[in-house]
Amino acid sequence: MKTSQPITKGVDYWTKRISDQEMPALCSTIRDLEKLAKDDVSSLASLGRSVMHDNALTTRILRVANSAIYNKGTSHVTTVSRAAVVLGFDTIRNICITAKLLTSLLENHNLSESVYRRLIKLMAHSFQAAMISRVMLKDYDEALREEVFIASLLYRIGESAFWSIGGQFVDHLDQALLVCDSTKQQKVVVREKLGTSFSQLTQSIARAWGLGDVLTTSLSHPDERMPEIRSIFLANEITDALNQPHINAEKLNELLTAAAEIQNISLAQCKARISRCAEATIRLAEDYGAIELVQHLPDTAEIISTLDKPEQTIESREINLVLQLKKLRELTELAIQKADFNQVVQTTLEGILDGVGVDRCSVMLLSPNRKQLSPRIAFGEGADKFKLELLIEMQGETNPFLYSINHKQADWIHEFDEREPDSLTSYVSANFDANQFKYGYMIAPIVVNDKAIGLFYADKHHSSRQITQQDFDSFCHLTQLANLCFGLAVH
């Protein structure tokens, strides 16, 4: 629903609206799962029946249940009820909640671009914190680790749920927060506009939905010394520190030291655990079908490795023919499987970034009216800023992006002459530095159902390198195979 007037309502109003009007499916699923948890006799069969009508949800649950994180060498499970027998009811219940939450929030297409970016980033940070908290309790039993994972994931459910509402009121608050100078000022603005804070809204939703004692305690008493509560607090603090534009090495080291203490391990061991956790986080996000989150996950291993060497420069990537071949084989297998769009995109971009050896690559998609083109997924150096700033108007006779779309043809723009910028500035958003095109770039159409819906993009701007013919040939090979996958998937 959309609100036309920005009227302050208070925590009870927003809790009821989110529960009854905006996210009733998620609210209902969580309540049903809590009821099933109290019924030992029929819970397993009921669990299977409660999700079987939702094919997409069932697919996600089974993919996660069979992932390396959860399936420790046991046989492949093909039903939700069987997965619950193998992994335990509590584990599958939490996988159900996570899958439903991601579906409810990430597939909301009624949001403005700015609000959607804010929501995706927030969810990525929540997912990362959930994984870190789970790793911090590595030596505890699985039930507690799962409870902490879901509590960390829902630690900011109030804020996430609010942004998912969409509409004029939400857009106005989003714009108001963008001009705030500090986090403290943002909290003041939120309280003025909503009549409550995001933290209070999360606590209210947690009580209304019956989200468990661990979450409610972590929200109301974050200073509790119990390992599960302490791990949730530290995981969120570490995640915030890792996602700052400028890393505060001293603060991050302090947080990691505290995390090492509650795990009773050395700081070096803790850093190694958190670094490995980053890889597992990406894999699990992919298993949940939440590829949108990946580009908002920081390069944790790189950040941690340079904590004591802040001046270290980033080396440019080099061509990797072995990895290229691996990704081409993976795309061939995806074509046979008729894999979904996100899997193909992920594999293609990995091949372009680390196989071709570019600095940055992206998938750009056309707006519904086909008049604008913008990056939706981006990997590599400066990816977040690239996504945030670049918007291309589909106009202009010299517009290579428009030409590639209209003619369904890959193109290699060798360089951009900054002395003659008019041809670019006429269709590229004003806040984007056109000099990022200075060393050239490669584009190739994304074709689905014989219709170009966007472009693959790649450049070497960060390392100030020119693109070569070999780069372009490899780029074309990967993108052509990706389009073959898209074509087979719809037939």
User: DSSP characters for 74-137?
Assistant: PPPP-SHHHHHHHH-HHHHHHHHHHHHHHHHHHT--SS-HHHHHHHHHHHHHHHHHHHHHHHHT
Reduced to 3 states (helix: H, G, I; strand: E, B; else coil), residue 207 is: helix
Q: Which residues of 375-388 are buried (b: 16+ CB within 10 A; e: fewer)?
A: bbbbbbbebbebbb
pTM over 0.75: no
Over range 135-154, report the average pLDDT: 88
Distance CA 251, CA 270 (A): 15
What is the per-residue pLDDT across 308-357, written as a single tens digit (0 to 9) for each?
A: 664 444 467 888 988 899 999 999 988 888 888 888 999 999 999 999 99
pLDDT of 422 > 60? The answer is: no
CA distance 472 to 357: 11
Q: Is the pLDDT of residue 6 over 60?
A: no
Task: Look at residue 395 in the predicted model and tell me its pLDDT.
Answer: 84
Provide the percentage of residues in the chain whose pLDDT is more than 90.
33
Q: Quick one: pLDDT at residue 421?
A: 43
* Dist. CA 310–CA 141, nearest whole Å: 37
Give yes or no for residue 459 having a pLDDT over 80: yes
Average pLDDT over residues 149-174: 90
pLDDT given for residue 38 in this prediction: 56
- Write down the pLDDT at residue 312: 44
User: Which token pair is 158?
Assistant: 């109030």
Q: How confident is the model at residue 3 (pLDDT cuts 50, 70, 90)?
A: very low
Given pLDDT bands bounded at 50, 70 and 90, which one contains residue 456? very high
pLDDT computed for residue 51 by the predictor: 58
pLDDT-derived band of residue 74, with 50, 70 and 90 as boundaries? Answer: low
196 or 384, greater pLDDT: 196
Pairing of strands 392-393, 411-413: unpaired
**What's the token pair of residue 14?**
């927003």
Q: What pLDDT is recorded for position 4?
A: 44
Eight-class DSSP state of 2? -
Average pLDDT over residues 393-403: 86
Count CB atoms within 10 A of the CB of residue 372.
18
Confidence of residue 8 (pLDDT cuts 50, 70, 90): low
Rg (CA), the chain: 23
Q: Give the pair of three-digit tokens for residue 412.
A: 């290699």
pLDDT band at 182 (very low <50, low <70, confident <90, very high): confident
pLDDT tier at 1, thresholds 50, 70, 90: very low
Q: What is the pLDDT of residues 189-232, one digit of tens each?
A: 999 999 999 999 999 998 888 887 888 888 888 777 788 999 99
Average pLDDT over residues 361-368: 92
Least trusted range by pLDDT, from 344-358, 376-390, 419-433: 419-433
pLDDT greater than 60 at residue 52: no
User: Which ranges of 288-439 does DSSP label H, i.e. alpha helix?
Assistant: 300-305, 321-337, 341-350, 383-389, 400-407, 422-425
What pLDDT is recorded for position 348? 94
Q: What backbone phi and psi angles, to 5 degrees, belong to 378? A: -145, 140
The more confidently predicted of residues 255 and 425 is 255
Q: Tokens for 447, please give them.
A: 């074709």
Number of H helices, E strands in the chain: 23, 6
Residue 420 scores a pLDDT above 50:
no
What type of residue sits at position 104?
S
Q: What is the percent of the chain with per-residue pLDDT over 70, rounded to a whole number?
A: 88
pLDDT at 424: 65
pLDDT higher for 63 or 73? 63
Strand partners, 446: 454
Q: What is the pLDDT of residue 351?
A: 94
In whole angstroms, what is the distance from residue 134 CA to residue 145 CA?
5
Give how far Cα 172 sits from Cα of 163, 190, 203, 312, Å: 11, 11, 24, 41
If you average pLDDT over residues 165-169, what whole number do you get? 88
- Can you name the residues that pair with 360 across neighbouring β-strands? 380, 459
pLDDT greater than 80 at residue 40: no
Find the range with the poorest average confidence among 40-54, 93-107, 436-450: 40-54
CB-based contact 374:364 (threshold 8 Å): yes
pLDDT bin (cut points 50, 70, 90) of residue 419 is very low
**Residue 418, helix vs strand vs coil:** coil
d(CA 402, CA 371): 10
